Amino acid sequence: MDTERTVYNVSAGRPASDIAGETAAALAAASMVFRDADPEYAETLLASARKAFEFADTYKGAYSDDPDLRAGGCPFYCDFNGYQDELLWGAAWLRRASKDDTFLQYIQNNGKTLGAEDSSNEFGWDNKHAGLNVLVSKHTADWYKKMRTIIALQEFIEGEVLSLQSYKEFADSFICTLIPESSSPHITYTPGGMLYKPGGSNMQHVTSISFLLLTYAKYLSKSSHTVNCGDISVGPVTLQRQAKKQVH
């Protein structure tokens, strides 16, 4: 790139929950990658993820609300969607990486306030809701698995599942928007069959949404579930086929 790559910093007086929440998610996910090959490094990543999330949650705000940061990031990289989804995104990945249920409780206690019920038909750098719903649906599937094997905790686990069920419902709804045969309103496709969203850099939507299709297909396969899209029932094979079509 032949443009200046200016470095900016955030602090308590210059909060950026979106940046810090996204950083926490990335570090937590990376800790899972290195867990077997380099456990010590994985722990360092996870500890750093916790610190980043604590900063994001303690000093709430969007980076583009700061005049100096806004001047450097906008109009191309303004935070149009707000920082709330990145807080939930960071908490969801920390729960996945650490198995610490306090992050699950954070999602349960703050989801509604932080916009978890906002409808969304995209997944990208500025909007994490669709990815969050798919990721939390994995937790729901895990609870169902435990419910089958730990009968003594059935009542407790059922309560946990029900509190997260809305995330799976939102994830299912999003998936249905990606299926052209669905009777529900769906995302626009080009004449050649590619996902199309108005605006620049359409491939960011194609690649990230294709990834979600494959991820959700894996969850459906493991849980033997399907998605009810009005007149049709959608299974993992359909989602895999749709993602493959996008790649082709």
- Phi first, then psi: what are they for 77, rounded to 5°? -125, 40
For residue 115, what pLDDT is reported? 72
How far apart (Å, rounded) are the C-alpha atoms in residues 26 and 87?
12
For residue 119, what pLDDT is reported? 59
**How would you classify residue 15: left for phi > 0, otherwise alpha for psi between -120 and 50, otherwise beta?**
beta
CB within 8 A of 211, min separation 6: which ones? 243
Comparing 67-81, 95-109, 232-246, the range with the smallest average pLDDT is: 67-81
Q: In this structure, what token pair is assigned to residue 123?
A: 């997944």
Residue 72 has pLDDT above 70, yes or no: yes
Nearest to 62 by CA among 115, 128, 121, 15: 15
For residue 43, what pLDDT is reported? 98
More confident residue, 148 or 20: 20
Residue 161 has pLDDT above 60, yes or no: no
More confident residue, 152 or 40: 40
Most confident of 21-30, 110-119, 229-238: 21-30
Most confident of 15-24, 130-139, 219-228: 15-24
Is 190 exposed, middle or buried, given 0-12, 13-18 or 19+ CB atoms closer than 10 A? exposed
**Mean pLDDT along residues 220-242:** 90
**How would you classify residue 35: left for phi > 0, otherwise alpha for psi between -120 and 50, otherwise beta?**
alpha
Mean pLDDT (the chain) is 84
Residue 228: enclosing H or E segment and its boundaries? strand 227-229
31-39 long-range contacts (CB < 8 A, ≥24 apart) are 31/97, 32/96, 32/97
How far apart (Å, rounded) are the C-alpha atoms in residues 84 and 151?
36
Comparing 69-73, 101-105, 141-145, 216-220, the range with the smallest average pLDDT is: 141-145
Residue 146 has pLDDT above 50, yes or no: no
Residue 142 has pLDDT above 60, yes or no: no
- The percent of residues in the chain predicted with pLDDT above 90, rounded, is 46
Nearest to 216 by CA among 196, 229, 231, 235: 235
pTM (predicted TM-score): 0.80
For residue 121, what pLDDT is reported? 66
For residue 117, what pLDDT is reported? 66
Do the Cβ atoms of 208 and 227 come closer than 8 Å? no
Q: What share of the chain is helix, strand, coil (3-state, %, to 5)?
A: 60, 5, 35
Q: In this structure, what token pair is assigned to residue 5?
A: 């790559």
Residue 135 has pLDDT above 70, yes or no: yes
For residue 147, what pLDDT is reported? 39
